[in-house]
């Protein structure tokens, strides 16, 4: 039987406007899977989730069966690869610190403009925004493995009152497995890429091993997942010099091997070597326990453990007359003089251990009242980066350096949620309401280290930190006020405080500063209206305000190193956005077609802009408010089963977004140089396509493609050459996967990501053609 044609499967497909069609291999969705009525999705899950019961926004989804069949998934964010308008800036397998989610009107430098949850636990890192302060604020993807995922849902836009203003771009909600009977799973996989760029010609490989167990006995359910990843990534940064007009210094070493090129502004420069090449070892452990007090009340506890040990190494392309690599000092290249700093070919080691706790008690009576109490904690139990300040090759054996420690950093959340389904009132109402508190603490202490490999902290280089807290109350009412009509009206009242902020650069430094506490409040109304135009067509309009408050890192996180500097601003204003959607959805029987027009008008947009100072050979980052950014566009999405031929499933999307800076008192080089320019890292055009064919019950083959048009990294759009280090380029990549199911227990798959070996950039180079193979066992 083809489950894609059963009423249950059709309800699921229609409910989520799936990025992937529900194929015949998929299991029928459970009774608590989302269902749609008059354009509004209803969630009746008894499991912990961030989703409210009524979702008035565009929503896309994917199930674990679809992930297994169609995606070469090594990290949890890979599940989002073919979603409309989404991109995760994943630079290598196991990338934990730059894998930022972008959406329709938000680029990959704005991690605080999206929200990622797993089983209702916040994984987004709102301690900062993007990459800054010598650290990173990407979502904690590593706390979920692909093997855990039951399904993933993505909500577009800030149209639900249940989420903070960070949801302005998108909300990603992972639901992980909780067995109803005993089950066991194991997976082994390997991957490799042959990477060629500038003077780097090497293979980078890795492997993964995953195992999980789970069961249910009486009122108790439990699930354990363990995962280990070993991954070697390609070089991500490069030592560069613009062409020198100076003569070589006396005694300069004559070297060869420098690679000529053009920088992002088409200025000639030299590439001297590759750096930031990570050898990563990650360990993940997840324990979930649930207890049913009754048939309608469940308590759930989640413990997540994530450990990351990484070595960051660099390679010089320069060779002296004897063929020995040259890493520092005065050199002569083509008769011109240059000086190499120790930081040009830096090395560092990272040791991170993070813990996550989540607790929820939830009722699911489906009666007049339901409720949930939940809390979570994310703790940087250990977070240390040791970096050498002496030059290679000696630095590999020790020497002076720095120790950066973020121990004590983290966040916690508390939520009380209620659902009211009043009886005896004209029209069907469902009211979601609640109170939420999210608290964040940041501490980044960088100290000198006599021996960067193992010494304790010495003199303070920089010490920054502070706290923010967001308290919110919200309510929204889904009201079927007439036949074929439904509306969702809501509002969110938020109070934000920032306190305890400080920046220090050592005892007695005149730049040391303590900051006064701040407090601000905001109201964000939401509204959606849907109409059943015909039996197979629904129309929907949505509007919502979102207020994104500054993060601790943006307010207080002034840091500096030998080759970078971050300039904070304690007086940043909150970012305020109005977003609208107009959507038409048509059920084609075995397919779903969606057309969405969207707009976003953002005032005081919070932006961290990085510019390179060639004189200081340093990256300078400054956070600022951009007066107004306006985005308008259209998104078309299609998904279908058995299209043209039985067994052929097709899905795809095309997005057009015109996102421009309309007002900005700040500038990059001269006043007014950003006005009318495109918002950084938001391409005008992007598209996805996926075709999966089931030859029989055992064999499935999938071909996917992704496209993104020209884009920029700088606010003034002066980086016209995207195909260069620090540039952001267009791309077109293709992926393939073939999977064989050998009975109920064994399966195997091989795949290739970036089959056409497209070389593309998002400041750093993306992976080139990558081969993968995996073996799975289930009991």
> How many other CB atoms sit within 10 Å of the CB of residue 92?
25
Cα distances (angstroms) measured from residue 430 to each of 42, 159, 422: 10, 16, 7
Residue 180 corresponds to which tokens in the numbers above?
A: 């109803």
> How many other CB atoms sit within 10 Å of the CB of residue 426?
7
Residue found under tokens 């934990």? 96
Tell me the mean pLDDT in the region 249-274. Answer: 97
What pLDDT is recorded for position 15? 35
Tell me the mean pLDDT in the region 740-769. Answer: 96
First vs last C-alpha separation in the chain: 24
Q: Give residue-wise pLDDT tens across range 390-405.
A: 999 999 999 999 999 9
DSSP string across 334-388: TTEEEEE-GGGG--EEEEEEEEEEEEEEEE---SSEEEEEEEEEEEEEEEEEEEE
Tell me the mean pLDDT in the region 466-493. Answer: 95
Note whether 110 and 326 are within 8 A (CB). no
Q: Are strands 149-156 and 428-449 parallel, antiparallel or unpaired?
A: unpaired
Q: Are strands 297-316 and 348-363 parallel, antiparallel or unpaired?
A: antiparallel
Q: Residue 754 pLDDT > 90, yes or no? A: yes
Residue 759 corresponds to which tokens in the numbers above?
A: 């070389």
Instruction: Count the residues in the chain.
Output: 779
Q: Residue 10 pLDDT > 50, yes or no? A: no
What pLDDT is recorded for position 558? 74
pTM (two decimals):
0.92
* Radius of gyration over every alpha carbon of the chain, rounded to an integer in angstroms: 26
Confidence of residue 11 (pLDDT cuts 50, 70, 90): very low
Q: Which of 492, 564, 569, 518 is nearest to 129 (CA)?
A: 569
State which of 16-20, 38-42, 82-86 shows the largest mean pLDDT.
82-86
What pLDDT is recorded for position 35? 60
Tell me the mean pLDDT in the region 159-179. Answer: 95
Confidence of residue 25 (pLDDT cuts 50, 70, 90): very low
Confidence of residue 633 (pLDDT cuts 50, 70, 90): very high
Q: Give residue-wise pLDDT tens across range 677-716.
A: 999 999 999 999 999 999 999 999 999 999 999 999 999 9
What pLDDT is recorded for position 50? 73
Q: Residue 49 pLDDT > 80, yes or no? A: no
Residue 512 corresponds to which tokens in the numbers above?
A: 């040391």
% of residues, the chain, pLDDT over 70: 91
What pLDDT is recorded for position 669? 82
Residue 552 corresponds to which tokens in the numbers above?
A: 């601790």
Q: Residue 247 pLDDT > 50, yes or no? A: yes
More confidently predicted of 347 and 130: 347
Alpha-carbon gap, residue 438 to 126, rounded angstroms? 10
What pLDDT is recorded for position 776? 97
Residue found under tokens 């005081």? 604
Tell me the mean pLDDT in the region 187-204. Answer: 97
Residue 93 corresponds to which tokens in the numbers above?
A: 């397998």
Confidence of residue 662 (pLDDT cuts 50, 70, 90): very high
Alpha-carbon gap, residue 63 to 16, rounded angstroms? 11
Q: Residue 346 pLDDT > 80, yes or no? A: yes
Tell me the mean pLDDT in the region 451-465. Answer: 95
- 78-92, 530-544, 661-675 — which is least confidently predicted? 661-675
What pLDDT is recorded for position 608? 77
Q: In the predicted model, what is the mean pLDDT of the chain?
A: 91
Residue 383 corresponds to which tokens in the numbers above?
A: 């977070």
Q: Residue 27 pLDDT > 80, yes or no? A: no
Alpha-carbon gap, residue 393 to 322, rounded angstroms? 16
Q: Which of 291, 269, 268 is nearest to 217 (CA)?
A: 291
Q: Which of 665, 767, 557 is nearest to 95 (CA)?
A: 767
Q: Give residue-wise pLDDT tens across range 210-228.
A: 999 999 999 999 999 999 9
- Element at 203 (helix H, strand E): strand 200-217
Residues 6+ apart with CB under 8 A from 571: none
């Amino acid at each position: 039987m083809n489950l894609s044609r059963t009423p249950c499967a059709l309800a699921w497909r229609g409910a989520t406007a799936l990025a992937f069609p529900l194929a015949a291999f998929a299991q029928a969705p459970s009774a608590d899977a989302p269902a749609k009525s008059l354009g509004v999705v209803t969630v009746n899950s008894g499991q912990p989730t961030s989703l409210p019961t009524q979702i008035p926004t565009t929503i896309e989804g994917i199930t674990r069966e679809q992930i297994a069949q169609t995606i070469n998934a090594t990290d949890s964010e890979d599940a989002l690869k073919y979603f409309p308008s989404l991109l995760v800036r994943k630079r290598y397998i196991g990338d934990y610190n730059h894998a930022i989610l972008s959406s329709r009107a938000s680029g990959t430098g704005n991690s605080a403009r999206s929200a990622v949850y797993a089983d209702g636990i916040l994984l987004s890192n709102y301690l900062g925004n993007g990459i800054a302060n010598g650290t990173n604020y990407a979502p904690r993807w590593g706390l979920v493995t692909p093997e855990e995922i039951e399904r993933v849902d993505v909500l577009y836009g800030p149209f639900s009152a249940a989420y903070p203003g960070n949801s302005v771009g998108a909300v990603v909600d992972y639901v992980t497995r909780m067995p109803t009977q005993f089950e066991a799973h194991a997976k082994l996989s390997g991957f490799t890429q042959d990477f060629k760029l500038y003077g780097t010609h090497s293979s980078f490989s890795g492997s993964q091993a995953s195992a999980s167990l789970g069961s249910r006995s009486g009122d108790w359910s439990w699930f354990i997942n363990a995962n280990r990843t070993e991954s070697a990534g390609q070089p991500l940064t490069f030592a560069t010099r613009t062409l020198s007009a100076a003569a070589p210094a006396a005694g300069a070493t004559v070297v060869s091997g420098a690679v000529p090129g053009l920088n992002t502004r088409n200025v000639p420069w030299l590439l001297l070597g590759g750096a930031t090449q990570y050898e990563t070892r990650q360990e993940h452990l997840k324990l979930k326990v649930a207890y049913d007090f009754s048939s309608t009340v469940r308590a759930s506890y989640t413990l997540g453990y994530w450990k990351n040990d990484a070595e960051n190494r660099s390679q010089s392309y320069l060779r002296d007359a004897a063929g020995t690599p040259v890493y520092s000092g005065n050199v002569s290249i083509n008769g011109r003089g240059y000086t190499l700093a120790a930081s040009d070919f830096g090395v560092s080691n990272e040791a991170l251990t993070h813990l996550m706790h989540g607790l929820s008690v939830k009722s699911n009576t489906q009666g007049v009242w339901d409720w949930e109490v939940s809390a979570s904690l994310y703790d940087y139990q250990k977070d240390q980066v040791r970096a050498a300040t002496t030059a290679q090759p000696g630095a590999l054996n020790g020497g002076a350096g720095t120790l950066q420690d973020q121990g004590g950093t983290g966040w916690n959340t508390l939520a009380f949620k209620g659902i009211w389904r009043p009886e005896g009132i004209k029209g069907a109402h469902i009211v979601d309401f609640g109170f939420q508190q999210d608290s964040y603490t940041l501490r980044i202490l960088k100290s000198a280290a006599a021996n960067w490999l193992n010494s304790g902290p010495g003199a303070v280089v920089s010490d920054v930190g502070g706290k923010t807290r967001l308290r919110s109350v919200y309510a929204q009412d889904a009201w079927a006020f007439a036949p074929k009509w439904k509306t969702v009206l809501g509002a969110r009242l938020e109070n934000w405080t920032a306190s305890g902020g400080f920046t220090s650069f050592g005892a007695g430094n005149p730049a040391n500063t303590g900051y006064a506490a701040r407090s601000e409040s905001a109201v964000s109304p939401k509204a959606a209206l849907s109409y059943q135009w015909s039996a197979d067509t629904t129309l929907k309009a949505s509007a919502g305000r979102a207020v994104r408050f500054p993060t601790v890192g943006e307010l207080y996180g002034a840091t500096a190193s030998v080759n970078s500097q971050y300039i904070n601003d304690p007086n940043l204003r909150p970012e305020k956005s109005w977003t609208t959607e107009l959507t038409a959805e048509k059920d084609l029987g075995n397919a779903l077609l969606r057309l969405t027009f969207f707009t976003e008008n953002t005032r005081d947009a919070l932006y961290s802009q990085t510019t390179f100072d060639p004189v200081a050979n340093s990256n300078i980052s400054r956070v600022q408010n951009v007066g107004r950014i306006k985005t308008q566009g259209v998104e078309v999405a299609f998904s279908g089963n058995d299209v043209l031929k039985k067994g052929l499933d097709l899905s795809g999307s095309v997005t057009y977004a015109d996102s421009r800076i309309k007002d900005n008192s700040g500038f990059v080089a001269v006043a007014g140089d950003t006005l009318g320019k495109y918002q950084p890292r938001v391409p005008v055009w992007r598209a996805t396509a996926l075709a999966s064919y089931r030859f029989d019950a055992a064999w499935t083959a999938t071909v996917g493609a992704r496209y993104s048009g020209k884009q920029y990294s700088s606010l003034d759009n002066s980086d016209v050459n995207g195909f260069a280090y620090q540039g952001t380029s267009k791309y077109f990549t293709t992926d393939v996967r073939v999977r064989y199911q050998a009975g109920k227990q064994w399966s195997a798959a091989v795949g290739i990501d970036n089959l056409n070996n497209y070389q593309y950039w998002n400041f750093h180079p993306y992976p080139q053609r990558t081969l993968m193979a995996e073996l799975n066992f289930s009991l």
